[in-house]
Structure 1
Amino acid sequence: MKVFGDELSVAALRERTGDLSSVAGVREVELSNGVERGVRAVQLRSSAGLEVEVLVDRALDLGPARFRGVPIGWRSGNGFRHPGLHEHNDEGGLSWLRALDGLLVSGGLDHTLFGDEVDAGHYRYPPKQTVAHGLHGRLTAIPGRLLEAGEVWDGDRCTFRVRGEVVQSTSFGEHLRLTRTIEVDFDGLELRLYDVVDNLGFERTPHMFLYHLNFGWPIVDAGTEFVAPIAETTWRSDSVAEQGVSYRVQPDPKPGFVEQVYEHRLVADDGGRHRVALIRGDSTLGVEVSWDADTMPCFFEWQNLRSGQYAVGLEPSTHHVSGDAAARADGSMTWLEHGESRSYRTTIRVLDGAEATTAARDAIRRVAGQPD
Structure 2
Amino acid sequence: MRFHVGAGPELQLDLGSALDIGSCRIDGIELSPGRAVPDDGDPRILHAVGGFLFTCGPDHIRHPEPIAGSGGRKYPLHGSMAATKAEVIAHNIVEKSEEIIARVTVRMAQGGEAEILRTWRMDGATGEVMLVDRLTNIGSQPFPPMLMYHMNIGAHLFDDDTKLKGSMFENGEIGWMFGDEDMHVFCVPAEAEAGDEFARLVLGPIEAIGGKYLNVRFATDTIPYLQMWRNQASPAHVLGIEPVSHPWKTRAELESEGLMPTLAPGEFMTYRLSFAFQ
Same fold (TM over 0.5): yes
Asked if residue 338 in structure 1 is aligned to residue 265 in structure 2, the reply is yes
Cα offset, 1:217, TM superposition: 4.5
Cα offset, 1:281, TM superposition: 6.6
Per mean C-alpha deviation after superposition, the further-off stretch among 335-344 and 212-221 is 212-221
Per mean C-alpha deviation after superposition, the further-off stretch among 129-138 and 194-203 is 129-138
After superposition, give the CA deviation of every residue in 1:270-298 in whole Å (9 maximum; x if it has no partner): 20211111112768111011010111011
- Report if the CA contact (8 A) 1:147-1:163 is conserved: yes
Q: 1:95 to 1:324 in 2, by over 3 A?
A: farther
Query: In terms of Rg, which structure is larger?
Result: 1
Asked if residue 61 in structure 1 is aligned to residue 20 in structure 2, the reply is yes
Residue of structure 2 in register with 1:103 after alignment: 52
Aligned positions, number: 271
Residue of structure 2 in register with 1:193 after alignment: 131
Q: Using the alignment, how far apart are the partners of 1:276 and 1:183 within structure 2?
A: 20
Q: 1:301 to 1:232 in 2, by over 3 A?
A: same
- Report if the CA contact (8 A) 2:8-2:128 is conserved: no
Give the alignment's TM-score, normalised by structure 1. Answer: 0.66
- Report if the CA contact (8 A) 2:112-2:140 is conserved: no
Q: Using the alignment, how far apart are the partners of 1:180 and 1:63 within structure 2?
A: 16
Q: Relative contact order (alpha carbons < 8 A, sep ≥ 6): 1 or 2 greater?
A: 2
Partner-residue secondary structure (3-state), 2:144 = strand
Residue of structure 1 in register with 2:88 after alignment: 146
Cα offset, 1:213, TM superposition: 0.6
Residue of structure 1 in register with 2:236 after alignment: 309
Asked if residue 274 in structure 1 is aligned to residue 212 in structure 2, the reply is no
Cα offset, 1:306, TM superposition: 3.4
**Equivalent in 110, 115, 118 of residue 180 of structure 1:** 118
Question: 1:44 is aligned with what amino acid?
Answer: F
Cα offset, 1:170, TM superposition: 5.9
Alignment identity in percent?
23
Give the alignment's TM-score, normalised by structure 2. Answer: 0.87
Question: 2:137 is aligned with what amino acid?
Answer: N
Partner-residue secondary structure (3-state), 2:82 = helix
Per mean C-alpha deviation after superposition, the further-off stretch among 276-285 and 136-145 is 276-285
After superposition, give the CA deviation of every residue in 1:42-86 in whole Å (9 maximum; x if it has no partner): 2112222521111111111001011121223332357xxxxxxxx
Cα offset, 1:94, TM superposition: 8.8
Cα offset, 1:129, TM superposition: 5.6
Q: Using the alignment, how far apart are the partners of 2:164 and 2:109 within structure 1?
A: 44
- The CA RMSD over aligned residues, in Å, is 2.8
Per mean C-alpha deviation after superposition, the further-off stretch among 291-300 and 320-329 is 320-329
Residue of structure 2 in register with 1:45 after alignment: 4
Asked if residue 117 in structure 1 is aligned to residue 66 in structure 2, the reply is yes
Residue of structure 2 in register with 1:249 after alignment: 175
- Structure with bigger helix share is 1
- Report if the CA contact (8 A) 2:75-2:110 is conserved: no
Stretches of structure 1 that go unaligned for 5 or more consecutive residues are 1-41, 79-89, 121-127, 234-246, 352-372
Q: 1:63 to 1:316 in 2, by over 3 A?
A: same
Question: 1:225 is aligned with what amino acid?
Answer: K
Residue of structure 2 in register with 1:206 after alignment: 144
Partner-residue secondary structure (3-state), 1:196 = strand
Cα offset, 1:218, TM superposition: 5.8
Q: 1:330 to 1:303 in 2, by over 3 A?
A: same
Q: Using the alignment, how far apart are the partners of 1:276 and 1:248 within structure 2?
A: 11
Q: Using the alignment, how far apart are the partners of 1:338 and 1:95 within structure 2?
A: 27
Q: Using the alignment, how far apart are the partners of 2:53 and 2:8 within structure 1?
A: 19
Residue of structure 2 in register with 1:263 after alignment: 187
Partner-residue secondary structure (3-state), 2:174 = coil
